[in-house]
Structures are given as C-alpha cells and as structure tokens.
C-alpha cells in the first residue's frame, strides 16, 4: 500500500472514495463544487493496488481567534472504505496530515466531526457549539418590530458584494469564523437542486449592517399553509440590523416555522420575542480545533486578563508539543518551571477559541489544577468577548 497526495488527475477516484464512505454518489454538482475549491496538494490518500481506500484533505483558511486571526488547516474529506477499516489507516493519515500542517506553519487545524468518538484521540477538542433554532409562527413576534423598508432582497448571487463587506466586518470580531478568499463565497452560495430537500432556490436579504441567506420550503397540511423558512446564515454587525433581518424572516406569508440549525449559541432571538418560548433551542457540538503548534498558537491570541501560568501539555500524537510552557505577558515560551495546570492538547484545543472553559474542563476531569486558584484565573484569561461560532461546514 502507498500513502501520498492524490493528483488532480485522480480527483474523480478521490471524490468517489470520500462520498462512498458517507453513502453518497458523486454528482455533477459535486464535481463542479469540489473542483472549484480543491487543493490537491493538501490531499492524502492510501492506495491499495492503485485503488484509493482512505482519504483526508485540508483547505488553506484563516480562523479568527480572540484578538487575531491565524492560519488554519480546515480538515475535510476524512474517510476510510468499509473494506479497509480497523487497520490503522486513519491514524496514519491524521499523523501525516498534522506533520504537514506543522511544516506549513499553521498553528491550528479544525474540522467538523461526523462522529463524536473519532477525533479526540488525535488531539481535537470541541471548541465551538452551535444552536439549532426552530421559531413558530405566528407566535414568534418581535417585541419592537422595526422598519424594514430599507431591506433589499432577491437571489443570493445578486448581493455577494454587500454580504462580503458585512461578513468581513463581523468575522474579525467573532472567534471561530473563517475568511472567505477566492472561491469561498461562491462555495457558500452553492445551491444544487438535489441538496435543497424541496426548498426553493437560495435567496438573500441585506442591509448595510447585516444579511441573511435563506430559502423557503413550501408545504401544506390539514391546518393550511405550513411552509418553512430555512436560514443558512445570518450575520449582523449591529443589534438594529439583527432585528430588521429577523423581522423579515418571521413575516413570510404561507410559512409556519423558521429554522436555523447552525446559529451561534449566543444568538439572542429568544430575548427579542414577545413570547420567548416561541423559539426552541438545542445546542450541539460544532467546530473541533487541534492545536498543532502550542507555542505559536498561544502567542498569537489575546487574553481577557494577563495570565502568568505554567501549562504542562500532554500530546502523545504530536510529540513536538509535549512539555511545559509559561504563558505570561502575551507570550508563550517553553520552560522547566513547575506547572500550575496539567492538560492534554485536546483540552487546550477545546479552550483555545474562548468558548469551552478551562474551568468546565477541570470539572470534567480534563484539566488538573496543581497550584490553587490556577484554574479560575487561567480560565478567565482564555475567555473571549463573544461565543465562538463557525457558520460554515467544510
């Protein structure tokens, strides 16, 4: 067997292997989409007698962290065919990929986990959550309905520049959000009919300070019209913009529900309604983060308070990270000093964006306090101003 990157000429075989592991077939829409964003030099595949049997890949992106943005390997296309599982192929793919990420100088990697039990053993930790929102009409009404006359709405592709400007304003302030260079806005608006599940084409509604991407899925039942407004993304730079966008989305005729399954956990819609119970909220894990270079990653981000703490990091999978680091004055340096906290790299990745707290991780037995008070003061330092959120899967 051979482990190497797949070439552009092997794109078809690589894609078929990935999608078949997820019980899907490669479509023409998939080909068009993936060829647009593909970085074949960042792929890896196991070949068995010239047949691709296991895969992984990464996109070159930047992710916002508290106070900065850093290079990020957006890991995708992780698969092993059923005929080749339990042979260590995935472990070797993950190790080789993280070595490559380190060589590229990217401090972190990130992914969306199809199964929650897989990636912790490779050092990934749950760094963001997301809220699944279901608002019921007509009960979901804003307490102070705004004037929506300045809104512009229409096919999503007609409003890209307006949305791009708002996204760029907001993403530099919200940990977990990714930049969208080159083809990434086109990818975000990808709207193959086969993927709509009965919804109409993607539309956008925009203001100077916000936008929403949405589609309407028509429907009827014994009680009458029962359509659904499906929100793909809502980004607002101001509370006023958020109110205007929600007022529009909650006022679509012939619909009964408004759903958004990738909302930030701190989305305040329920606080904006006359009846807070008119929206149901469910929280699930979202982006997983892997710290690839502890020193670079901890130096890059800002802190809510000035920490002076020695961390003892365990990382058997990437041994270059193993050891003690002093985090003080905004810098992180290796040290031989006695540690204040002991944790593994997966716990560090979970806390890195400022969402999952070191205090909660300590309560779960994932962080050991070696100096009294170290958990609380370090946890406070790692917290960000906003809950981290990644609106797009990759």
Distances (CA, A) of 215 to 66, 133, 164, 195: 32, 15, 19, 12
CATH of domain 2-106: 3.40.630.30
Active site residue 317: no
Identical topology for domains 2-106 and 297-382? no
CB neighbours of residue 195 within 10 Å: 12
Identify the active-site residue in 59, 325, 352, 394.
394
10-residue stretch averages of pLDDT, the chain, 394 residues long: 96 95 92 94 97 98 98 98 94 98 98 96 98 97 94 97 98 97 96 95 98 97 95 98 98 97 98 98 98 98 95 98 95 97 98 97 98 97 95 96
**Rounded to two decimals, what is the model's pTM?**
0.95
Task: Convert the chain into a string of H (helix), E (strand) and C (coil).
Answer: CEEECCCHHHHHHHHHHHHHHCCCCCCHHHHHHHHHHCCHHHCEEEEECCEEEEEEEEEEEEEEECCEEEEEEEEEEEEECHHHCCCCHHHHHHHHHHHHHHHHCCCEEEEECCCCCCHHHHCCEECCEEEEEEEECCCCCECCCCCCCCCEEEEHHHHHHHHHHHHHHHHCCCCCCECCCCCHHHHHCCCCHHHCCCCCCCEEEEECCEEEEEEEECCEECCEECEEEEEEEEEECCHHHHHHHHHHHCCCCCEEEEEEEEECCCCCHHHHECCHHHEEEEEEECEEEEECCHHHHHHHCCCCCCCEEEEEEECCCCHHHCEEEEEECCEEEECCCCCCEEEEHHHHHHHHCCCCCHHHHHHCCCEEECCCCHHHHHHHHHCCCCCCCCCCCC
CATH of domain 130-284: 3.40.630.30
Q: Give the CATH H-level superfamily of domain 297-382.
A: SCP2 sterol-binding domain (3.30.1050.10)
Active site residue 394: yes
Distance, in Å, from the CA atom of 300 to the CA atom of 108, rounded to the nearest integer, reads 11
Domain boundaries, the chain: 2-106, 130-284, 297-382
Distance, in Å, from the CA atom of 73 to the CA atom of 106, rounded to the nearest integer, reads 7
Q: Contact 77/18 with Cβ under 8 angstroms?
A: yes
Identify the active-site residue in 34, 59, 119, 382.
119
Question: Which residues, listed in sequence order, are joined to residue 310 by a DSSP beta bridge?
Answer: 326
């Amino acid at each position: 067997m051979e482990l190497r990157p797949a070439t552009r000429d092997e794109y078809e075989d690589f894609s078929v292997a990935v999608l078949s592991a997820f019980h899907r077939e490669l479509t023409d829409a998939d080909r068009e989409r993936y060829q647009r964003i593909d970085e074949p030099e960042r792929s890896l595949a196991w070949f068995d007698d010239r047949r691709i049997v296991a895969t992984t890949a990464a996109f070159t992106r930047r992710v916002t962290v508290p106070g900065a943005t850093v290079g990020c390997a957006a890991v995708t296309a992780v698969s092993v065919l059923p005929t080749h599982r339990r042979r260590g192929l995935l472990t070797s793919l993950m190790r080789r990929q993280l070595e490559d990420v380190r060589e590229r100088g990217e401090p972190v990697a990130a992914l969306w986990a199809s199964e929650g039990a897989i990636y912790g053993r490779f050092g990934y930790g749950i760094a963001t959550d997301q809220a699944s929102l279901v608002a019921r009409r007509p009960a979901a009404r804003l307490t102070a309905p705004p004037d929506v006359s300045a809104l512009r709405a229409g096919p999503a592709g007609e409003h890209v520049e307006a949305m791009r400007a708002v996204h760029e304003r907001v993403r530099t302030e919200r940990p977990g959000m990714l930049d969208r260079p080159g083809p990434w806005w086109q990818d975000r608006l990808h709207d193959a009919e086969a993927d709509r599940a009965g919804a109409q084409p993607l539309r956008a509604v925009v203001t100077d300070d916000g936008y929403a991407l949405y589609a309407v899925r028509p429907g009827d039942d014994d009680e009458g019209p029962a359509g659904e407004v499906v929100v793909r993304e809502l980004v607002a730079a101001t509370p006023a913009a958020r109110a205007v966008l929600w007022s529009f989305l909650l006022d679509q005729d012939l619909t009964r529900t408004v759903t958004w399954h990738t909302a930030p956990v701190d989305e305040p819609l329920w606080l904006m309604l006359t009846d807070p119970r008119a929206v149901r909220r469910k929280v699930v894990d979202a982006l997983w983060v892997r710290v690839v270079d502890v020193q670079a990653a901890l130096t890059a981000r800002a802190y809510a308070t000035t920490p002076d703490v020695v961390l003892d990091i365990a990382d058997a999978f990437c041994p270059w990270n193993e050891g003690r680091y002093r985090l003080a004055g905004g810098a992180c340096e290796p040290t031989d000093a006695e540690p204040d906290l002991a944790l593994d790299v997966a716990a560090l990745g979970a806390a890195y964006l400022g969402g999952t707290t070191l205090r909660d991780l300590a309560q779960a037995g994932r962080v050991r306090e070696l100096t009294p008070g170290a958990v609380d003061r370090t946890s406070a330092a790692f917290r960000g101003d906003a809950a981290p959120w990644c609106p797009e899967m990759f």
